[in-house]
């Protein structure tokens, strides 16, 4: 096992190389290894039609560990649980009766061991198979056989760590689909709900198409909150499952400490996905003026890898502590926040975030934009704005008032 001191540009670039090499279809207008900023790589690369791409982004220029005596359990300079709880005014207790599921493609053999390092480093309670907190299954709900490694190990570690950061007392269910095929991931979502998940986070997407409406039924589970990342490709064509009206589409922000009364500031992250659906009707609870269809996103949290999260994993040859971002971070984090609130049945869709009563419980993000590959002409669809905007939705958590 490599220690945190071994965190180098070369090693991280190798970890973040394109998955599904030789595939023909990307997502949006970005190339497989491109990023919205230098020093950042996509964890998942191009994928064939019908397959999903994960939305984790890894820093290849990550700063040195916080302490000079670096070792495998010394966290780097990414945000940890205490930072996120302070930034979003979250309680440190709650969620003991909640199970948060994450759905990912393929097996991460080191998932439980890596999670143990993350949680012990930050003083979080142990979450293991032995104590009943952690449970890993295949898409049919069985502990064996687990699927092959599909190159999503960093994504899986990010998901597990972000649920842990938001809700340290929640149980975690990891459902590993056979592959990144959309039908496999949809089956894994159905299985997560069948196994009793209260919240299900999906950190992946497939560019919407004429086939999109037919897949929606797998993401409709009244009584369970279903969340999905909006994507890391800025303003453009939205992706499923985030575009489904029964799903909470999670956008992303850049989060920095400052001298304000809150102590933090946020702007729309330039990579945060947003878009106006051509295939999904506008839900009654969404009333933004310039999109006749379903608009993403609904709500958001930190996703910018340059203001990113500390994650621990040795999957795919990762060196231990790394800094990761993408809307793959904000979706599982917000699943954990909903779990802290303890009312998953309230979120059959994203409508509660649009209610006037929810606004005091959300920070309105009014600056920044995600029109890096396609401009929306100054419109709210790609610019942070008062009230609703595409990159950040209705805002980010300000305590649990909206949850």
Using only C-alpha atoms, the chain has a radius of gyration, in whole angstroms, of 19
Q: Based on the number of CB atoms within 10 Å of its own CB, is 396 exposed (0-12), middle (13-18) or buried (19 or more)? A: buried
Report whether pLDDT(29) > 60: no
Report whether pLDDT(26) > 60: no
Residue 160, token pair as written in the block: 């597990």
Helices 327-341 and 153-166 pack at an angle, to 10 degrees, of 30
| Residue 20 DSSP symbol | S
Q: Is position 28 within any domain?
A: no
CB burial readout 16-26, b (16+ within 10 A) else e: bbbbbeebeeb
Report whether pLDDT(21) > 70: no
Q: What is the pLDDT of residue 316?
A: 87
Helix (H/G/I), strand (E/B), else coil: 341: helix
Question: Would you call the peptide bond into 241 cis, given omega within 30 degrees of 0 as the criterion?
Answer: yes
By DSSP bridging, strand 57-59 and strand 40-42 are antiparallel
Q: What is the pLDDT of residue 16?
A: 56
Q: What is the pLDDT of residue 75?
A: 75
Give per-residue pLDDT as tens, 75-125: 778 999 999 999 999 999 999 999 999 999 999 999 999 999 999 999 999
Q: Is position 41 within any domain?
A: no
Q: Identify the domain containing residue 309 by its residue range.
A: 51-56+80-397
| 221/166 Cα distance (integer angstroms) | 23
Give per-residue pLDDT as tens, 262-298: 999 999 999 999 999 999 999 999 999 999 999 999 9
Q: Based on the number of CB atoms within 10 Å of its own CB, is 174 exposed (0-12), middle (13-18) or buried (19 or more)? A: buried
| 139/217 Cα distance (integer angstroms) | 17
Mean pLDDT for 361-385 is 95
Domains in the chain, number = 1
Mean pLDDT for 156-179 is 98
| 53/67 Cα distance (integer angstroms) | 35
pTM, two decimal places: 0.92
Report whether pLDDT(53) > 50: yes
Residue written as tokens 């990023």?
35
CB burial readout 243-269, b (16+ within 10 A) else e: bbbbbbbbbbbbbeeeeeeeebbbbbb
CB 335 within 8 A of CB 347: no
Mean pLDDT for 370-383 is 92
Q: What is the pLDDT of residue 239?
A: 96
Report whether pLDDT(246) > 50: yes
Q: Is position 294 within any domain?
A: yes
Q: What is the pLDDT of residue 25?
A: 41
Give per-residue pLDDT as tens, 301-316: 999 999 999 999 999 8
Mean pLDDT value across the chain:
90
Give per-residue pLDDT as tens, 321-370: 999 999 999 999 999 999 999 999 999 999 999 999 999 999 999 999 99
Q: What is the pLDDT of residue 252?
A: 98
List for the chain the helix, strand, coil content (%; round to 5). 25, 25, 50
What is the distance of C-alpha 278 from the center of its chain?
24
Give the 3-state DSSP-derived string for 272-326, with helices as H, strands as E and coil as C: CCEEEEEEEECCCCCCCCCCCEEEECCEEEECCHHHCEEEEECHHHCCEEEEEEC
| 264/118 Cα distance (integer angstroms) | 24
Q: Is position 110 within any domain?
A: yes
Residues linked to residue 199 through DSSP beta bridges, in sequence order: 100, 225
What is the distance of C-alpha 342 from the center of its chain?
20
CB 129 within 8 A of CB 84: no
Q: Is position 32 within any domain?
A: no
Residue 104, token pair as written in the block: 């990912």
Please report the sign of the dihedral spanned by the C-alpha atoms of residue 76, residue 82, residue 88, residue 93: positive
- Of 261 and 23, the structure prediction assigns the larger pLDDT to 261
The tally of CA atoms less than 13 A away on the side-chain side of residue 7 is 30
| Residue 348 DSSP symbol | S
Other beta carbons within 10 angstroms of residue 143's beta carbon come to: 10
Report whether pLDDT(11) > 90: no
Q: Is position 148 within any domain?
A: yes
CATH of the domain at 376: 3.40.50.200
Residue 198, token pair as written in the block: 């209260």
């Amino acid at each position: 096992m490599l220690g945190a001191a071994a965190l180098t540009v070369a090693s991280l670039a190798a970890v973040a190389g394109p998955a599904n090499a030789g595939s023909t279809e990307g997502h949006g207008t970005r190339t497989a290894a491109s990023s919205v900023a230098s020093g950042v790589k996509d964890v998942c690369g191009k994928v064939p039609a019908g397959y999903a791409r994960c939305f984790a982004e890894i820093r290849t220029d990550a700063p040195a560990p916080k302490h000079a005596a670096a070792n495998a359990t010394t966290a780097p300079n990414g945000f940890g649980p205490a930072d996120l709880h302070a930034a979003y005014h979250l309680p440190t207790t709650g969620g003991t009766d909640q199970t948060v599921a994450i759905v990912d493609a393929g097996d991460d053999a080191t998932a439980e061991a890596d999670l143990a390092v993350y949680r012990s480093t930050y003083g979080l309670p142990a979450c293991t198979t032995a104590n009943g907190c952690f449970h890993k299954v295949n898409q049919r709900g069985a502990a064996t056989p687990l699927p092959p490694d599909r190159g999503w190990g960093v994504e899986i570690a990010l998901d597990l760590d972000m649920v842990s950061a938001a809700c340290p007392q929640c149980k975690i269910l990891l459902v590993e689909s056979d592959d990144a095929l959309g039908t496999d991931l949809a089956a894994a979502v159905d299985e997560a709900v069948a196994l009793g998940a209260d919240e299900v986070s999906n950190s992946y997407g497939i560019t919407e198409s004429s086939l999109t409406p037919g897949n929606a039924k797998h993401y409709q589970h009244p009584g369970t909150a279903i969340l999905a990342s909006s994507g890391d490709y800025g303003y453009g064509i939205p992706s499923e499952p985030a575009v489904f009206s029964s799903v909470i589409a999670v956008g992303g922000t850049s989060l920095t400490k400052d001298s304000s009364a809150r102590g933090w500031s946020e702007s729309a992250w330039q990579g945060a996905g947003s878009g106006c659906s051509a295939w999904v009707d506008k839900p009654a609870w969404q009333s933004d003026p310039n999109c006749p269809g379903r608009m993403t996103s609904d709500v958001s949290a930190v996703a910018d890898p340059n203001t990113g999260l500390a994650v621990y994993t040795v999957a795919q040859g990762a060196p231990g502590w790394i800094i990761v971002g993408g809307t793959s971070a904000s979706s599982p984090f917000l699943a954990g926040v909903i779990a802290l609130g303890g009312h998953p049945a309230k979120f059959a869709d994203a409508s509660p975030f649009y209610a006037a009563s929810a606004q005091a419980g959300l920070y309105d993000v009014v600056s920044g934009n995600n029109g890096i590959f396609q401009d929306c002409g100054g419109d709210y669809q790609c610019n942070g704005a008062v009230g609703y905007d595409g990159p950040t939705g209705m805002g980010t958590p300000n305590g649990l008032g909206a949850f």
